[in-house]
Amino acid sequence: MTLTLRDGLFIAAVIIGMLSLMGAVRYFGRRAGLAPELQRKLIHVSTGTAALSFPLLFSNALPVFLLIGASILVMLALRGGRLAQLGGVLHDVKRESWGEIYLALAIAFTFFRSTGEPVLYVLPLLVITLSDTASALVGTSYGRRRFTVEDGSKSLEGVVAFFVVTWLIGLVTLLLLTDAARVNVVVLSFLIAGFCALVEADSWRGLDNLFVPVGAHLLLAQYLGSPPDQLLGVAVAFIVFLIAMRAIGKALDLPARAARGYTILLFLMISLMALHNALLTALVIGTHLLARKLRPCESKRPALDLLAVSAVVALFWLVAGELAGRSVIGLFNLTFAAAAMGFVAIALGGWWRVLLLPFGVMVGGLFVWIAQLNTPYHPPWFADDWPWLAAALALPAAIGALRPQDFSTHRAIKLFALCLVVPLALYVRGVLV
């Protein structure tokens, strides 16, 4: 990856252009009495449209990473201080949202992984730019059948608009940018539209700006060359899986939105990494529910917090593997094995903590079995260094058991940060060696 003077000029031009646009929208929006949501969507559409030009402006990912990094710093500055008035064009809506940050991260992720395949970048950005805006405008103007979300409400009409626009985007983009068979285009567009509409309906605090384009990108990358019968099988499997998880969620008193979110997460993992590599993630969900029941935390939405953190950690390891040029699926599984251990340690109290040892042996055995299944395709990061596995499991187990009160708030974030210590040390050692 390289950086030229031309790249630097384009980076400066994009940032200055977006700030100028925000100022213009803020000024004319106030004079014309435009609603804050409409002003925000104007910036949203402009950002997505500008990002579509990045493959033409930049020849590699480095200048895009620098542009995204600089943009995030600017957007953070717009949240307070002297620039807060300009930032009101993004933050005057009544709900709390970090959507502009998530969108920037999604642009960087899809650009990085789409080299040589324009459709893998263009289609996801069109979806989050146009479908999201159509959903918001239709829901605001015509939404009658409303349902509650974490930061307000959404409408069934808005979700339908999102699905229809996404399906049309998929049809047009796949026909223009690929040589896929017509039936493949129809089925794949339908699968992406249904998947993204569910993600958008269940997202909160602007997370749809990250999860929708990333999910569309991953599905497209995985199934673009698949035959029609396989695509139909995947669509049917997703529906069946969704129904099953809904039933399981009711039995476990899990919020419906969280159950759908876990379904989407596990479905993506199974699609991208095979069934056995989703087992530890499923175990984390189960142990989280155990900890929530036996030692409730003070977070308002612990189930959704776990969903968001798990998805971000999975994306982190995906990018880390791309940067290292080798599979990190073993480190991904090690992180989730440690998280399962930590949740159980938080849940158990008193003499019940003696169960941590047999549970740790079980989790370690499950990890080793999964690693053996992966070995022919994913070379391990540590072969006979069993102390690494023991340390990864022991660290969250010890701290979770000795100081469970430290996890009374932001439990998922704190625990996963702890569980990343050993896998990251292994990653750094592997990259340097």
Q: Answer with the one of 94, 113, 136 that is the final residue of a domain.
A: 94
Task: Indicate whether 169 belongs to any domain.
Answer: no
Task: Indicate whether 216 belongs to any domain.
Answer: no
Cβ neighbours of 355 (radius 10 Å): 13
Task: Indicate whether 146 belongs to any domain.
Answer: no
Task: Indicate whether 424 belongs to any domain.
Answer: yes
Burial letters 206-231, b for 16+ CB under 10 A, else e = bbbbbbbbbbbbbbbbebbebebeeb
Residue 82 DSSP code: G
Q: Which residues of the chain have pLDDT under 70?
A: 1, 34-37, 79-97, 143, 147-153, 204-205, 376-385, 433
Contact 39, 92 (CB under 8 A): yes
Q: Answer with the one of 59, 75, 94 that is the final residue of a domain.
A: 94
Cβ within 8 Å of residue 224, ≥6 positions away: 119, 120, 178, 180, 188
Task: Indicate whether 153 belongs to any domain.
Answer: no
* pLDDT given at position 20: 83
Residue with tokens 């698949």: 226
Show the domain range for 423. 274-433
Cβ neighbours of 205 (radius 10 Å): 18
DSSP codes of every residue in 250-280: HHTT--HHHHHHHHHHHHHHHHHH-GGGGHH
Q: Answer with the one of 43, 62, 94 that is the final residue of a domain.
A: 94
Instruction: Report the run of H or E that residue 155 belongs to, with start and end.
Output: strand 152-155
Task: Indicate whether 308 belongs to any domain.
Answer: yes
Alpha carbons within 13 angstroms on the beta-carbon side of residue 107 total: 28
First and final CA of the chain: distance in angstroms? Answer: 21
Please count the structural domains in the chain. 2
Task: Indicate whether 385 belongs to any domain.
Answer: yes
Q: How many residues are there in the chain?
A: 433
Helix (H, G, I), strand (E, B) or coil at 405: helix
Task: Indicate whether 179 belongs to any domain.
Answer: no
Burial letters 132-160, b for 16+ CB under 10 A, else e = bbbbbbbbeeebeeeeebbeeebbebbbe
**Dihedral through CA 182, CA 176, CA 189, CA 125, nearest 10?**
170
